[in-house]
Chain A
Amino acid sequence: MADHPRVIVVGGGLAGLAATVRVAEAGVPVDLFSMVPVKRSHSVCAQGGINACNTVARQQGYSEWQHMDETLLGGDFLNHQPPVFEMTHWAPKIIDLLDRMGVPFNRTKEGFRDLRLFGGSIFKRTHFAGASTGQQLLYALDEQTRRYEAEGKVNKHEFWEFLWPVIDDNGHCKGIVAQDMRTMEMKALRADAVVMATGGCGMLYGKSTMSVICTGGAASRCYQAGAWLGNPEMIQVHPTAIPGEDKCRLMSESARGEGGRVWVPRKKGDDRKPADIPEDERWYFLEEKYPKYGNLVPRDIATREIFFVCQDGYGISGGNMVYLDITHLPMETKNKLAAILEIYEKFTGDDPRFTPMKIFPAVHYSMGGLYSTYTAVDDARGMVSGAHNNMMTNIPGLYAFGEVNYAYHGATRLGANALLSCIFDGLFCGLSVANYVRDGVAHEQSAGQAPDSLFQKYVDQEQAKVERLIANDGQNNPYEIWREMGEEMIASATVVKTEDRLNQAYTKINELKEQFKSIKLSDTGTWTNQNLSFSRAVGDMLKYAETILAGSIARKESRGSHYRLDYPKRIDDPFHKTTLVKYNAAEDKPEITWEDIPLPLVPLRDRSYGKVEAAAEKDEKKEEATSV
């Protein structure tokens, strides 16, 4: 094999495609692996928009610094500051680039890019293309990738599933083992660097807003191969989704950004049609509790408020639903939201332009994921451009980009920051990948020089796993194990958590791991065996679920999306730290250590978003102080 540096990118969503484009542009050939044609990746589901400081907001007093500050406050200071500084300062350039790529961003009357309001900010700083922004951005990057593919610089492997990273005796990543989901052919492919851009893990919750491919299986396999996880307990539950049989469909934050209001009847169990409930008998609880941000408080806060309102019996007809109402908005605004309103109508039969939508929170995003490193510039205001280790995991040569990377969002991700972090990783850290493979610094041997036996060892390992699964003649149905895992995870590790319930879930997941050892596949064939692929992923999902629970148990405080009823306050000492999870292979269990998070730019502060009770309490204290 010729000894030119090569890069493998696993995953063809925004992060994977941005990385592919950037690495190919730098002149390094890319092998791009994806379980689906990349144009069908989960990024298409992102609806609302992408944040960046812009000319209009800047003239109203907004800045990249403030975007960074919002992102850190939103994340409850669990995010590292230099990467967030760099990302938010790159954001305007990323919008310009996407604009040049032809993304049909909405326009103002004068032809400039239009903006909308989004959660966690009082400035309009969100760029959008209708209500299908993720789809539009993904398509633009898909097109640029196709251009490089046509030039022979990118080689796509679609319908291939990542199985394991190839790690040599020095602990360096030298390629991957993957399997064709149609022919079931398995092979190892060499590369001097591997970028994991494999997204979130919503499927281990059974139902979420994520696509069926978002199992977290790839992240779990890297974890089992020695990559560390950071903050896996930080799972975002989106406040507004349409509950469904097969999945919970997202109802974008843009519905609230454009003026949508969340409410319930003031009278418990009020069975009147929403239109028949007069204004003064409606409880706009988010606006009442958070006068400054109203319906646009960060997601974890909105989610908890909706959850508690329903727990208190105020949900629609006493159930687990609240209204998200856009019926009062002008038709022009409703048209901007057409893509998401159509989805609601198709799946529920009600037209949300005239009837308030019924929504409930659903698992939506993994802030945590593969642990990654970076090189900060001297004054911590950003990362060193092209430094080899930017968003590299603890395994040299193995990178983590996009949702699978734990770096940017801390304990809660702000709306419209995901698209940004994915594309930023690809573009900014893509250069790091290209430099790493070209400089060859850390390579005792290049991937091309590594012995065949290294790759064969890993293919054999994966082949043996498949044979075990197929030969297994147990009594357990993998779908049933998956269903039970989902129910257990939803009940224990979503909106509110307690020690007892988490411990119970931890025991249950370990029981399911035992049961998994004696499953029976309903398809043992060697052609397009989805049953095998799914079952294998269930085993890996269980191990990832275990880390979410272990992190949730260990973090005895509340921070962002992680809300412990038994520890309802943020406790900075000792928990202002990253939860580092390492796999103990001998005992097949997660081990937790903690890593300090430096605060070079913004000091810790309270995260109340002007909640009125909190403000009232403060005023009382002030009065006490002055009266003394």
Chain B
Amino acid sequence: MIASSPPKTFILKIKRSLGEGKPSHWESFEVPIRPSMNIISALQYVAANPVTTDGKNVEPVVWDAGCLEEVCGACTMVINGHVRQSCSCLVAENLQDGNTITLEPMSKFPVVRDLWVDRQRMFDNLKKIHGWVPIDGTHDLGAGPTETQEEQEQRYAYSRCMTCGCCLEACPQFTKDNDFKGAQVFAQIEYFNSHATGKELAAERLDVIMEPGGITDCGNSQNCVKVCPKELPLLDAIASLGRKTTVHAVKRFFSGKK
């Protein structure tokens, strides 16, 4: 096989708009390829040189970014049709038709501008499910509960969720207009409910996902687990909550609560 020399530039094709409900259009930018270049460095190039392939000067592309090492979740977008973080997406490995990469904002959240979306719904949901351990206060009251290595490993797996929204973008059940909670919330409930003190609010959390938009609305497409960049055990969480909500419903019935 004859190795062809790698291309010197590539085309970054970006879906742009001025916000939710505003018309969108595509613009293309030619970007020089540098060794181990990622999408962020390509976007930085465009920010400094906002000229399209048609030679038109345009306003620089807007996108959300933070740590650039796939731990803050900010720079999530749809790249070549797949949702992922743009910092850990290397250009050389993702060129389509030889020299093009397409970028779109996530489709399940309102667009702020260009590639930047508003994921406030995810944080609001954490509030709804009482996403915290109800400690007595910050005063010195000694150590927390001990736990086994196995318990720690299980909780650690869930605690790496960076609220990026990949699982929700890929979920056929989760839409802009409905109130489905989605895998992010289910995983966090499992996380807090498996802590000795966090458990104190377990019933309240289960109540939230027994309402419309809760666990029974999950269509079991299992897309969420395939796209989670931190490989959270999302299906385990969904299965576990399915069982627990059933038990919880029975308990509620016999205690006379609705």
Q: What residues make up the interface of A, taking CB atoms closer than 8 Å to B?
A: 21-22, 25, 36-37, 39-42, 44-45, 93, 96-97, 99-102, 104-113, 129-130, 132, 135-136, 139-140, 143-144, 146-147, 149-150, 182, 211-213, 244-247, 249-250, 339, 343, 346-349, 427, 477, 479-480, 483, 522-523, 525, 527-528, 530-531, 534
Contacts and interface: CB of A to CB of B under 8 A. Distances in A.
A252 to B, nearest CB: 11
List of 10 A-B pairs having minimum Cβ-Cβ separation, nearest first: A99-B144, A479-B48, A143-B132, A111-B146, A528-B113, A102-B133, A100-B144, A245-B41, A246-B41, A40-B72
Contact of B69 (A40, A109, A249): A249
B131 interface: yes
Contacts, number: 189
Given A100-B135, A346-B88, A348-B36, A212 B152 contact: no
A68 to B, nearest CB: 19
Nearest to B89: A346
Contacts of B198: 102
B96 interface: no
Contacts of B72: 36, 40-42, 44-45, 211
Centre residue among A36, A109, A339, A522 by max chain B CB count within 10 A: A522
B59 A143 contact: no
B105 interface: no
Interface stretch (B4-12, B154-162, B173-181, B208-216): B154-162
A100 B38 contact: no
Contact of A427 (B70, B138, B160): B138
B133 A132 contact: no
B18 A527 contact: yes
A213 B66 contact: yes
Contacts of B66: 36, 40-42, 44, 211-213
Interface of B: 18-19, 34-38, 40-41, 44, 47-48, 50, 57, 59-60, 62, 65-74, 87-88, 90, 112-113, 116, 118-120, 123, 126-127, 130-135, 137-138, 140-144, 146-149, 151-152, 155-156, 159-160, 162-163, 192, 195, 197-198
A198 to B, nearest CB: 14
Contact of B132 (A99, A130, A144, A339): A144
Contacts of B112: 182, 528
B138 A25 contact: yes
A212 B68 contact: yes
A409 B248 CA distance: 51
Given A96-B144, A99-B144, A132 B132 contact: no
Contacts of B116: 528
Contacts of A132: 71, 160
Contacts of B192: 102
B69 A45 contact: yes
B249 to A, nearest CB: 25
B101 to A, nearest CB: 15
Given A42-B66, A44-B71, A531 B140 contact: no
Contacts of A250: 69
B70 A522 contact: no
Contact of B148 (A107, A136, A246): A107
Given A25-B137, A96-B140, A249 B148 contact: no
B60 A531 contact: yes
B151 to A, nearest CB: 8
A149 to B, nearest CB: 7
Contact of A97 (B44, B120, B138, B147): B138
Centre residue among B47, B73, B113, B138 by max chain A CB count within 10 A: B138
A522 B132 contact: no
Contacts of B149: 106-109, 111
A531 B59 contact: yes
9 contacts: A25-B137, A39-B73, A44-B66, A44-B71, A100-B197, A244-B36, A244-B38, A347-B38, A479-B44
B123 A346 contact: no
A110 B147 CA distance: 8
Contact of B38 (A129, A212, A245, A427): A245
B132 A527 contact: no
B132 A147 contact: yes
Contact of B70 (A21, A101, A213, A346): A346
